[in-house]
């Protein structure tokens, strides 16, 4: 596998490119669909594979990541796979220790408390040395997919990663991380710049390894108001898309479509649509028509069914999907949920969602 890490060759021919065409704004026969966290605990086979393993040990095993990525595709006719990994592998690459605590989630043993703590971070990260296991997982999975669907790579965005590194885990207020933005703006920018540089190299490495699209998760955007988002999130989101694209060109790698998903940042949709990404992902709190009006005609939209809609009976899921497709239109659109799947969801309802997207979008396209 390692031979492919910089220049993957001989990958199987892609049979279903609907997702990539929609991302680029080309016409599609049906609306493509995939789900955030589609490789996850709602699948019994996922729980079985993961049972004996520490979470981050699983992330470091290319073979297990490949298996977990493929599981949902064996069940559902999804139009894309997303590599099984975690956004917190980036802080790990910077030298921070993160453990998965049962019932609590990811926890940093020593979060950043003072500005001086930034000195403990690696200032130069060799992504192949630190995150090569992700690249190996991507290459192995791309081969194992046998061209069935494209493979998406991803990373957390700088503000979201910074908030975890300071909070030390999840938080309802992000008060510790936000206090840095107010008290230590220069140090915050220093940290965000370091993260943006590592994320750029990491995403380019994923394409070199075989990723056919990239998603940047700004999952904690909603904790910022418009001003802080303009200062501390948006500039780095823009920089990453520009830097990734120019490095891909320099290294003669494919220019893959890029998706930005900034959860709860409706106030920034216009800016996100102009941030250099082909696709803007949406959470469930915005109307399709409103999102289209704000983002214009030059980007593809992705989203945005409320994940909790999957608790509804299957017929109701079909109705909600139809309404969503009528709102967005079937073109320049990728169907998804407005956030990830939850662990207690019924796999059959996920299947009903995927099938409803295909059936209703084909019907709308015909008529």
Q: How far is CA 36 from CA 118, 155, 315, in A?
A: 32, 13, 22
270 is catalytic: no
* CB within 8 Å of 166: residues ≥ 6 apart: 111, 112, 113, 176, 177, 180
Catalytic position from the list 17, 21, 37, 42: 37
Record the tokens describing residue 333, joined without a space.
């659109």
Q: Are 57 and 76 in contact (CB under 8 A)?
A: no
Question: Which of the 8 DSSP states describes residue 135?
Answer: H
Catalytic position from the list 41, 190, 274, 362: 41
Geometric angle at alpha carbon 23, from 17 and 29, rounded to 5°: 55
Upstream peptide bond of 304 is cis (omega within 30 degrees of 0) = yes
Catalytic position from the list 17, 21, 50, 142: 50
Catalytic position from the list 17, 21, 142, 164: 164
50 is catalytic: yes
37 is catalytic: yes
148 is catalytic: no
* CB within 8 Å of 183: residues ≥ 6 apart: none
Question: Which of the 8 DSSP states describes residue 346?
Answer: -
41 is catalytic: yes
> Which is nearest to 317 in space by CA: 326, 328, 327, 306?
306
> Which is nearest to 95 in space by CA: 50, 130, 145, 60?
130
Helix (H, G, I), strand (E, B) or coil at 99: strand
Catalytic position from the list 24, 75, 86, 311: 86
* CB within 8 Å of 57: residues ≥ 6 apart: none
Report, as residue numbers or ranges, the catalytic residues. 37, 41, 50, 86, 164
């Amino acid at each position: 596998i390692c031979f492919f890490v910089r220049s993957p060759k001989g990958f199987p021919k892609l049979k279903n490119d609907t997702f990539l065409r929609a991302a680029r704004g080309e016409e599609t026969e049906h609306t493509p669909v995939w789900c955030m966290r589609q490789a996850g605990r709602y699948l019994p086979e996922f729980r079985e594979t993961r049972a004996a393993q520490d979470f981050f040990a699983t992330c470091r095993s290319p073979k297990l990541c490949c298996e977990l990525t493929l599981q949902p595709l064996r069940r559902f006719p999804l139009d894309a796979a997303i590599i099984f990994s975690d956004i917190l592998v980036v802080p790990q690459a910077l030298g921070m220790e993160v453990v998965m605590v049962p019932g609590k989630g990811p926890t940093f043993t020593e979060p950043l408390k003072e500005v001086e703590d930034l000195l403990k971070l690696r200032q130069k990260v060799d992504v192949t040395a630190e995150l090569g296991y992700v690249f190996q997982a991507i290459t192995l999975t791309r081969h194992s997919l046998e061209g069935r669907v494209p493979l998406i790579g991803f990373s957390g965005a700088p503000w979201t990663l910074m908030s975890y590194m300071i909070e030390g885990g999840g938080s309802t207020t992000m008060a510790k991380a936000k206090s840095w933005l107010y008290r230590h703006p220069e140090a915050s920018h220093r940290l965000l710049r370091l993260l943006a540089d590592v994320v750029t190299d990491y995403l380019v490495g994923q394409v070199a390894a075989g990723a056919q699209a990239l998603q940047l998760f700004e999952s904690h955007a909603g904790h910022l108001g418009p001003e802080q988002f303009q200062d501390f999130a948006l500039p780095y989101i823009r920089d990453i898309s520009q830097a990734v694209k120019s490095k891909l060109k320099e290294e003669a790698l494919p220019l893959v479509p890029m998706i930005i998903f900034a959860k709860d940042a409706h106030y920034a949709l216009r800016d996100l649509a102009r941030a250099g990404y082909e696709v803007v992902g949406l959470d469930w709190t915005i109307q399709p028509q409103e999102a289209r009006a704000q983002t214009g005609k030059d980007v593809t939209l992705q989203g945005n069914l409320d994940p909790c809609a999957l608790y509804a009976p299957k017929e109701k899921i079909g109705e909600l999907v139809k309404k969503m497709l009528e709102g967005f239109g079937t073109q320049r659109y990728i169907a998804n949920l407005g956030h990830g799947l939850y662990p207690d969801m019924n796999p059959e309802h996920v299947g009903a969602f995927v099938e409803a997207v295909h059936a209703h979008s084909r019907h709308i396209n015909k008529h």
